[in-house]
Structure 1
Amino acid sequence: MIPNTPIDSITLSAMLFYLAVLGALLAVGVFLRMKISLLKKFFIPASLLAGFIGLILGPDGAKLLTSEMVSSWGSLAGILITFVFAPMLIGIKMKDSKGAKKHFAPQLFYHYMGNMIQYFLPVFITITILVPLFGVNELFATLIEVGWSGGHGTAAGMGEVYSSFQWEEGGTLGLTSATIGLVVSFIGGIIIINYSVKKGYTSVLKNRNQMKQKNEEDISEEKREPGSYTTISGDVVDGFAFHAALLLIAVLLGWFMQKILETFIPGLPLFPMAMIGGGILNLVISKTSYYKLIDVRTFQRIQGISLEFLIVGAVASIKIPVVVEYALPLFVMSVLMLLSMLWFFFYMGPRMFKEDWFENSIVIFGTLTGVAAIGLMLLRTVDPEGKTGAMAAYGLKAPLFSPFLGGGLITSIFPIMLISYGPFWVGGITLMIFLVLFFVAKSTGVYRKKKSPKKNDYSEGVSSTN
């Protein structure tokens, strides 16, 4: 049960060299991101850029990087995603702010319903179109939720699960799906914003000329904020080391839970269990006086470091021949899912939110197709000062959503359920959940027939009814 295979000095030395190259790639990515205006314009993350550089230099490209190095990076991603998830529930408290309450329930229903579409629709597309035409694996149906809602981190972590079901291509396809989702979320989101400003759907942004994104790459000294706070004396232990120790305890708890549950759920990955382990640890510490020693920002720094290197290594380890082989089914799936997300946005959004439907919907669109960072970026574009309360509601609902979907526990067991119970059963159940959510939202007044809603002109500081 406990791993006892020693790691020799040669392996450790090679891994140190691989990490050094990974760091060099990220540094180059940061430099290029700051210097090339086109990359600034499209907000390309430095880590994603560095990953593509690694992909170009790798065994399927210029062959300057060895397959052993790139494979090691891919394996490392499965470990780093555990560090991203482990502290997610440690030190978290429910926050409320003005404007958040009125949008909380609609956002929660809307996000869950949108995510359910990414479960049942890909299943039915896969078994009715992609399997008959292209002979893809049934697990192909999981790539949208894993890649789009989950992002590169989740896709990298799920590579282990796919391998356990003898679908080695799944890891590469999951990362490819995440990359497609990132492009869809940003470019699609900007197009939607431009169109909606012209149509008058936005509450705060009234003119496309107002859509000026801040491209401040290096933060001036007077604007700098602390990345973390020291909560414990350095005479006792370094604060960063203390938080890393708590994180590793969460991983340890998750590891034991994974081993216990493996008998019942074969292929269960470690990262969601580590998150639950962090939740248990948080519950225990919150009952003691030591809870005040927890600094959430320090955990966020650890998560940030892990995620940046994870993305570089994961993207660089994508197998190009696999992407080429599955290009057509990926294209078909992506186009159909994009159309479904656009329908969900324009049809369900105005019916789910009584006020500020566009702002509340655009942050969920960005999160469903890309990652939370893109969703929040799109929201800041149309509501930079948080006047609508959509941003506050998004943060308020996060503890009730993130642990389960969009890279959470249900995401991690979705492939396992699909193999264990079959696509028809799983597709039917997720469709039923969507319908139940819809009818509950309708019966509670969250969903309503489309009317002529109030349009709040926050830029003028008054409300008007059109």
Structure 2
Amino acid sequence: MEASFYPYIAAFVWISLLIVAGVILRAKIKILQTLLFPASLIGGILGFILMRFDLVGIPTSSGWQVLSPSTFGMISFHLFAFSFVGIGLLRNKDAEKRQNREAMRGALWMGLLFGFLFSIQALVGYGAFVGWQKLTGGAFFEVNGFLLGAGFTQGPGQTQAYATVWEESYQVANSIDIGLAFAAIGFLVAGIMGVPFTRYGLRRGWGGQTSGVISPEFCSGILAEGNRLVCAQGTMHPANIDSMGFHLALAGLVYGLAYAFGLLWLNYFPIAGIRGIGLGYTFMWGMMAAMLVRKGMQRLNCAHLLDEGSVRRMTNTCVDFMICAVFMGIKPTALTSVVIPFSVSIVIASFLTLWACLWFGRRAPSLGFARAVTMFGYCTGTGASGLMLLRLVDPEYATPVALEVGLMGLVTFVVFKPISLCMPFAAAPDFPMIWIFVGTAILTPLVMYVLRLVGRRQF
């Protein structure tokens, strides 16, 4: 029985402990409130430090047993994939019934800028890795530099999906560790650079009528007594099954279907060279399976059994735990040979991203500053980071920018899907991934001009 706690139950306990610690530290330490670091990020950073001293482990009858970074890396992969099941189960009424033309135009602006930033960041990372290898002749894989773009714009889960394929199918060493490190640093960049940038713009009046005052509860991260939020509604009678239990069971079933499909792909897909993405793309199969289940429930007139609040709580919980696990899954030793190009590329990409968001934001058709700060957070951390910065400018979500963040996923899914489909093969010999990024970086601004998404400077 004792052995059953190691390693995954013990890892879950540690993540839980660190998130609770993050909640307490955010509520008590002023600088963390100023930076608006979420509890999961604070806990992840604390966990990363503890991991370096072998303090993350479990007591056993034979002594202290340390948990490895690989354990947390595996947990972050599955949490990311499982969260996409929740995304697929969401009914997303706003997307299905949208009539807001401004929101669609803003989503298109965001989606195109997303692809541009992804490409620029990937080229910066790759260029730094190639340049350092030519200078030093170091024994490392330059292709790992592309993961800067994935880590910053797409987050740890999808970055790990790409890196898993590279390691398993093309034997590219340290891809997962370097990719997760890029993603983890991206969360820090979103807070350390994004918050001062947003506050500076507000002081200059760039936010216009949408600027608001941040409440003490928003800073501390804890709601006052008597000011609770309604998170979910029950769709099941408690005498039968708890509503959250039903949602977890349904999501677990869908995740099992995603695994089965990935396994079939891995073993039977006719093109051997891309079989490796079978299980690496579990997140995508999970989202697609969830969408099919949701459509099937609509056809059977039982879609009302899905509560959007419950699904969102489940999805957001996975993201919180994933962010914490990502930091604990980093292996600093894997960065030894690339620490210089790794660091240089992050600094260059961060400032280029900030400059691009401000430049395009100033020339957006409307709501340029709100969209600029949102995209900076999104393209260095995650969608949650973007919304975190947006709340500084638009605390009540009175503008359609928050809706545009959700609709942006549709744009990127259609317009930039070729990049996502090509990334797993970027490590293949002679694959023209660099030219795909170069073409995207050149064509995207031109498309934005043609569609009149770039105009005169507004602020």
Q: Shorter-chain TM-score: which interval?
A: 0.7 to 0.9
Give the alignment partner of residue 371 of structure 2, picking from 360, 376, 383.
360
User: Does the 8 Å CA contact 2:111/2:409 hold for their aligned counterparts?
Assistant: no
Give the aligned residue type for 2:251: L
What is residue 417 of structure 1 aligned with on the other side?
425
**Separation in 1 of the partners of 2:448 and 2:18?**
47
TM-aligned CA distance change 1:422 to 1:198, over 3 Å: farther
TM-aligned CA distance change 1:67 to 1:116, over 3 Å: farther
Which deviates the most, 38-47 or 193-202? 193-202
Please give the per-residue CA displacement for 1:109-144, whole angstroms capped at 9, x wherever unaligned. 333333343235524652552442354413323322
Query: TM-score, normalized by length of structure 2?
Result: 0.83
Give the aligned residue type for 1:441: M
User: Does the 8 Å CA contact 1:149/1:371 hold for their aligned counterparts?
Assistant: yes
Q: Aligned pair 1:267/2:279, yes or no?
A: no
Give the aligned residue type for 1:228: A
What is residue 178 of structure 2 aligned with on the other side?
173
Q: 1:82 Cα shift?
A: 1.7
Tell me the secondary structure at the aligned position of residue 241 of structure 1: helix
Q: Aligned pair 1:144/2:148, yes or no?
A: yes
What is residue 44 of structure 2 aligned with on the other side?
51
TM-aligned CA distance change 1:98 to 1:302, over 3 Å: closer
**Separation in 2 of the partners of 1:317 and 1:20?**
15
Give the alignment partner of residue 228 of structure 2, picking from 212, 218, 224.
224
**Separation in 2 of the partners of 1:133 and 1:288?**
63
Please give the per-residue CA displacement for 1:296-329, whole angstroms capped at 9, x wherever unaligned. 2212222233223323333123212223442211
**Separation in 1 of the partners of 2:199 and 2:316?**
31
What is residue 327 of structure 2 aligned with on the other side?
315
TM-aligned CA distance change 1:159 to 1:296, over 3 Å: farther
What is residue 183 of structure 1 aligned with on the other side?
188
User: Does the 8 Å CA contact 1:159/1:171 hold for their aligned counterparts?
Assistant: yes
**Separation in 1 of the partners of 2:34 and 2:204?**
24
Give the aligned residue type for 1:339: F
Please give the per-residue CA displacement for 1:59-95, whole angstroms capped at 9, x wherever unaligned. x325563444543232222222221111212133241
TM-aligned CA distance change 1:75 to 1:236, over 3 Å: same
Query: TM-score, normalized by length of structure 1?
Result: 0.82
**Separation in 2 of the partners of 1:297 and 1:168?**
41
User: Does the 8 Å CA contact 1:139/1:418 hold for their aligned counterparts?
Assistant: yes
**Separation in 2 of the partners of 1:33 and 1:195?**
22
Give the alignment partner of residue 434 of structure 2, picking from 423, 427, 442.
427
User: Does the 8 Å CA contact 2:153/2:378 hold for their aligned counterparts?
Assistant: yes
Give the alignment partner of residue 447 of structure 1, picking from 427, 431, 454.
454
Give the aligned residue type for 1:74: G
* Gap regions ≥5 residues in structure 2: 58-64
Please give the per-residue CA displacement for 1:216-242, whole angstroms capped at 9, x wherever unaligned. 433234321222110122233221121
Q: 1:292 Cα shift?
A: 0.7
What is residue 458 of structure 1 aligned with on the other side?
none
Which deviates the most, 244-253 or 18-27? 18-27
TM-aligned CA distance change 1:319 to 1:12, over 3 Å: same
Tell me the secondary structure at the aligned position of residue 44 of structure 2: helix
* Gap regions ≥5 residues in structure 1: 1-8, 456-466
TM-aligned CA distance change 1:23 to 1:403, over 3 Å: farther
Please give the per-residue CA displacement for 1:399-431, whole angstroms capped at 9, x wherever unaligned. 4447997xxx767645422123646x2222233
TM-aligned CA distance change 1:125 to 1:83, over 3 Å: closer
**Separation in 2 of the partners of 1:223 and 1:100?**
31
User: Does the 8 Å CA contact 1:85/1:274 hold for their aligned counterparts?
Assistant: yes
Q: Aligned pair 1:343/2:355, yes or no?
A: yes
Q: 1:200 Cα shift?
A: 4.1
**Separation in 1 of the partners of 2:415 and 2:318?**
21
Q: 1:435 Cα shift?
A: 4.1
Which deviates the most, 41-50 or 192-201? 192-201
Give the aligned residue type for 1:381: L
Give the alignment partner of residue 29 of structure 2, picking from 36, 49, 70.
36
Give the alignment partner of residue 202 of structure 1, picking from 184, 199, 207.
207
Task: After the TM superposition, list the runs of 4 or more consecutive aligned residues in structure 1 that deviate by more than 6 angstroms.
Answer: 96-99, 402-405
The count of aligned residue pairs is 436
- Give identity over the alignment, percent: 21
Q: 1:290 Cα shift?
A: 0.8
User: Does the 8 Å CA contact 1:156/1:314 hold for their aligned counterparts?
Assistant: no
Matches within 5 A, 1:289-304: 289-304=301-316
TM-aligned CA distance change 1:284 to 1:434, over 3 Å: farther
Give the aligned residue type for 1:376: L
**Separation in 2 of the partners of 1:273 and 1:367?**
23
**Separation in 1 of the partners of 2:415 and 2:158?**
12
User: Does the 8 Å CA contact 1:150/1:371 hold for their aligned counterparts?
Assistant: yes
Q: 1:23 Cα shift?
A: 2.6
User: Does the 8 Å CA contact 2:370/2:401 hold for their aligned counterparts?
Assistant: yes
Aligned alpha-carbon RMSD (Å): 3.1
Matches within 5 A, 1:207-286: 210=213, 214-262=218-266, 263=269, 264=271, 265-268=274-277, 269=280, 270-286=282-298
**Separation in 2 of the partners of 1:320 and 1:419?**
22
